[in-house]
Structure 1
Amino acid sequence: MDVKQKKVILWSPPRCLSNVFYRSIMTLKKTKCIRNLFSGPYYFGPNRTSHLYPPLLDSQLDLEGLLVKDLTYEKMKTLLTADYSNEDLVFIKDHPYCLPESLYQDLISGPFANFTHTFLVRDPERALYSNYKASSSQQLIGCNLNPPGGGFYEMYEFYNFIKEKQGTTPVIVDAADLQTYPDETMKSYCKAVGIPFDPNMTSWEPVPLHVHYKVLIGWNQQVNQSTGFVKTKPEEQKPVPLHELPSDVVKCIEDSRVYYTEMRKDCIRPLF
């Protein structure tokens, strides 16, 4: 294996622009991009944690020739640490809420010891409002948010685990910076993790992202149609209509704000 190869994981709650971030990294040459593998064992595997979706059919799975019975955390770890030695960068995007706490140590040791863990956060008002609208459009019966808690607590717990065990503060990006200064923020991220920045990585041609679990395809509509980061100044964004949201979503926003605020303190800044 080429010792110069970089291996980077981006962790975030849903609806924090992580798919757009992932699409940006896809523009880099000699890069293996892998997305949301841990959703498999969490939602659909033989020991799945969530029963939000109906059981997945083998015909609805498109992942390395696997069957639904193969959707285990051990199998996902094997796929993530496979030999991609022909690539300069292995970039992985996933959600911490899909991880059992028992898996945390595995993701910083053994074949994962040389992975760089990074995080993407977003103001919970905007992330969870988007999550609520997306969950509603997916017709997830009895669920205003997917996951029900929004995913901020699990992200914060995993972030603190990484910070404590590795003795350094992981790289964190705020989605608001991506929207305000996309080039400068991606440049800062690339420098922080040691990967090349390409001036073309904030705009692209629309390309449908590959979806391993076909019942989740509806969550990708916006990024599939995107042509780059939508540059928007904070003062130009419409206020989130909190009065339109169910009480449990409003409470989740309030509960999640403390985790966002703490992580926001450590966010990298755009590089001008």
Structure 2
Amino acid sequence: MSAAPKPIVLWAVPRSRSTAFLRIMLERGDLEVVHEPFSYLQADGHFELGGRRVTSAVELLDVMLDVNANERRVFAKDTSDYTYTPLLEDERLFCDVINTFMIREPHDAISSHYAMNPEATLDEYGFEYLHAIFDAVRSVTGEVPLVIDGDDLVADPEATIRAYCERVGLEFMPEAMRWDPGQWANWQRTDRWHAEVAESSGLVAQTPKQRETPDTNEHLRRIAEHHQPFHDALARHRLSPRR
């Protein structure tokens, strides 16, 4: 009997359109889709998956691997505004999980993040720590992890999702590119961050909103200057959906 395919984790910088990506994975219907389990665990001190309540990242990884092996393949999306030190010390994260990454041009991601949380710290914008996770995966596995760009996802949704699926061993399902608008119960706790996805029925480019940007706000300019090199280092490995 062949082993189950490995669970997939998408590590994403905040405001990279990763929730829209997760919405597509949810619409497939063949995956156990988990929304920001490690972030919620950090914030709340507990998380429930597969009917089990866990209180540590190592326990959560235990359950994730068990669900993946015995029930359905797991797809989890999480963000890099928290740190996950105990998790990154567990070799199973590197050996038994497919780790993928999602970026977005810092100017837009930082502007969007600031509009949602003007009190965010420098680290919470997430590019530096996303790069640290990427480096940890590359160092242990000896392979360059998959990196996708949220701007590509909007510019060419089908090609981006098709290329991602091919790399992680999923069948591409074109019917999953559309969905009925509405909130998903599993993101209710942070639903204000996902309002645009909840109101949508698919991926479309939207007119940029009027908001503070690194061009108009000195604080955001300093944040962008700090994080730009980490974005650029990841962008060098970005999957081009047209390749």
TM bracket, shorter-chain basis? 0.7 to 0.9
Q: What SS does the corresponding residue of 1:172 show, helix, strand or coil? A: strand
- CA gap 1:5/1:257 in 2 versus in 1, 3 angstroms: same
Q: What SS does the corresponding residue of 1:117 show, helix, strand or coil? A: strand
Q: Does 1:109 align with 2:84?
A: no
Q: Which amino acid aligns with 1:266?
A: H
Alignment of 1:26-175 (within 5 A): 26-45=26-45, 64=51, 66=53, 71-84=55-68, 85-87=70-72, 89-106=73-90, 108-109=91-92, 113-136=95-118, 143=119, 145=120, 148-175=123-150
Aligned equivalents of 1:116, 1:34: Cα separation in 2? 15
Identity of aligned residues (%): 22
Q: For 1:210-235, what per-residue CA distance to the aligned partner results, in whole angstroms no more than 9, with x for missing partners?
A: 33673x23222111112111146xxx
Alignment of 1:196-215 (within 5 A): 196-211=171-186, 214=189
Aligned equivalents of 1:18, 1:146: Cα separation in 2? 20
Aligned equivalents of 1:175, 1:163: Cα separation in 2? 21
Give yes or no for contact 1:44–1:71 (8 Å, CA) kept in 2: no
Q: For 1:11-48, what per-residue CA distance to the aligned partner results, in whole angstroms no more than 9, with x for missing partners?
A: 011100010000011122321101111123322329xx
Aligned equivalents of 2:35, 2:144: Cα separation in 1? 24
| Superposition deviation, residue 7 in structure 1 | 1.4
Give yes or no for contact 2:14–2:81 (8 Å, CA) kept in 1: no
Match of residue 202 from structure 2: 228
- CA gap 1:146/1:71 in 2 versus in 1, 3 angstroms: farther
Q: What SS does the corresponding residue of 2:13 show, helix, strand or coil? A: coil
| Superposition deviation, residue 173 in structure 1 | 0.2
TM-score, normalisation: structure 1: 0.78
- CA gap 1:135/1:240 in 2 versus in 1, 3 angstroms: closer
Aligned equivalents of 1:212, 1:237: Cα separation in 2? 24
Structure 2: which 5+ runs fail to align? none
- CA gap 1:221/1:212 in 2 versus in 1, 3 angstroms: closer
Q: Does 1:268 align with 2:243?
A: no
Aligned equivalents of 1:238, 1:225: Cα separation in 2? 16
Q: Which has the higher helix share?
A: 2
Q: Which amino acid aligns with 1:115?
A: V
RMSD: 2.8
Give yes or no for contact 2:67–2:74 (8 Å, CA) kept in 1: no
TM-score, normalisation: structure 2: 0.86
Q: Does 1:190 align with 2:134?
A: no
Aligned equivalents of 1:217, 1:62: Cα separation in 2? 18
Q: What SS does the corresponding residue of 1:229 show, helix, strand or coil? A: coil
Aligned residue pair count: 241
Aligned equivalents of 1:35, 1:199: Cα separation in 2? 22
Q: What SS does the corresponding residue of 1:200 show, helix, strand or coil? A: helix
Give yes or no for contact 2:214–2:220 (8 Å, CA) kept in 1: no
Aligned equivalents of 2:121, 2:21: Cα separation in 1? 20
Aligned equivalents of 1:163, 1:103: Cα separation in 2? 15
Aligned equivalents of 1:20, 1:213: Cα separation in 2? 15
Match of residue 8 from structure 1: 8
Q: What SS does the corresponding residue of 2:66 show, helix, strand or coil? A: coil
Give yes or no for contact 2:9–2:78 (8 Å, CA) kept in 1: yes
